[in-house]
Each structure stands twice: as structure tokens, then as C-alpha cells.
């Protein structure tokens, strides 16, 4: 758990999708992610051939992205990642769909959307992020606070 005495660089407010609190290193992409056929659930790795994160694992990261694309298999693919321990710690997304909402629920990870600032503009890969799904807040540090 981070030392809450160190002030974050920024706090974004949004809407709870799934409650709970998690923190970790951010992994940011401006591209939607396909679940079925787009990720390897055993490693938590994006495998879409033309995706900017191809070969990168989201396991244990805070995934910041626009949302889901593809079939209704999205939630199933990400649910398998949760069962295998390779799911993200939390999610922040910008475009609400039934696919992404169901995926967040079955993964049971803190998830926030509908933010007062665009998280794709405000969060960088490597930032340390705390997602409080209950409060609907996203706290951002340049690096993990000691």
C-alpha cells in the first residue's frame, strides 16, 4: 500500500463501475482491445497483430484504455485471465459498452469510467495509479510513492 502522505500529481473523478481499491503501474493505450482472439489469457498479453501493445502483458497493471472491441467473448477471455491470475489490477476506460461492463464485473477489479478529465491524456504508461472504485477516484503519481 502506498504512503498516502505523499500527494498525487493529479486526482481524476469518475463513475464507479466496480468497487474496491487497487493500485499499480499504469499501462496506457489509445486503442481498444479485443478479448476473444486479442489477448492470451494465460499470460495476460495482448496478441492482436496490429495493436500497439502487441506482446505486452497487462497482468498486475492498471489498464487505461478506451474500452472493448469485438465479440461478446470479451468478458469470457478476461474472466479466464482473472482465474489464471493474469488480469489487470484495475481498469480505467472511456467508452462504456455492455462488453466492458460485464468484463469488469466478472474480473471483480476496481473499475472507473466517465471521468472529469480524459485519463488517456492525463495518465502515462509507468505512472503509479490508485483506483478507488467505491469513491470513483483515480490518484496519479509520476512514480510509486515510498
Catalytic annotation, residues: 71
Query: In whole angstroms, what is the distance from residue 10 CA to residue 31 CA?
Result: 23
Q: What is the DSSP secondary structure assignment for residue 54, as one 8-state letter?
A: T
Q: Are 78 and 63 in contact (CB under 8 A)?
A: no
Q: How far apart are CA 124 and CA 26, in angstroms?
A: 7
All residues at 6 or more sequence positions from 112 whose CB lies less than 8 Å from its CB, including other chains: 14, 15, 16, 17, 90, 91, 92, 131, 132, 133, 136, 137, 138
User: Collapsing DSSP states into helix, strand and coil, what is residue 74?
Assistant: helix
Q: Which residues, listed in sequence order, are joined to residue 21 by a DSSP beta bridge? A: 132
Amino acid at each position: 500500500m502506498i504512503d498516502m502522505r505523499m500527494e498525487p500529481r493529479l486526482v481524476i473523478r469518475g463513475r464507479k463501475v466496480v468497487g474496491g481499491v487497487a493500485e499499480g503501474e499504469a499501462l496506457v493505450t489509445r486503442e481498444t482491445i479485443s478479448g476473444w482472439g486479442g489477448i492470451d489469457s494465460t499470460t495476460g498479453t495482448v496478441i492482436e497483430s496490429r495493436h500497439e501493445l502487441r506482446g505486452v502483458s497487462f497482468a498486475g497493471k492498471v489498464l487505461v484504455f478506451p474500452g472493448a472491441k469485438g465479440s461478446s467473448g470479451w468478458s469470457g477471455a478476461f474472466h479466464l485471465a482473472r482465474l489464471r491470475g493474469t488480469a489487470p489490477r484495475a481498469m480505467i476506460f472511456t467508452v462504456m459498452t455492455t462488453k466492458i461492463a460485464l468484463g469488469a464485473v466478472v474480473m471483480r477489479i476496481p473499475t472507473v469510467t466517465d471521468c472529469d478529465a480524459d485519463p488517456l491524456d492525463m495518465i502515462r504508461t509507468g505512472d503509479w495509479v490508485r483506483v478507488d472504485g467505491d469513491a470513483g477516484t483515480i490518484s496519479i503519481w509520476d512514480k510509486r510513492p515510498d
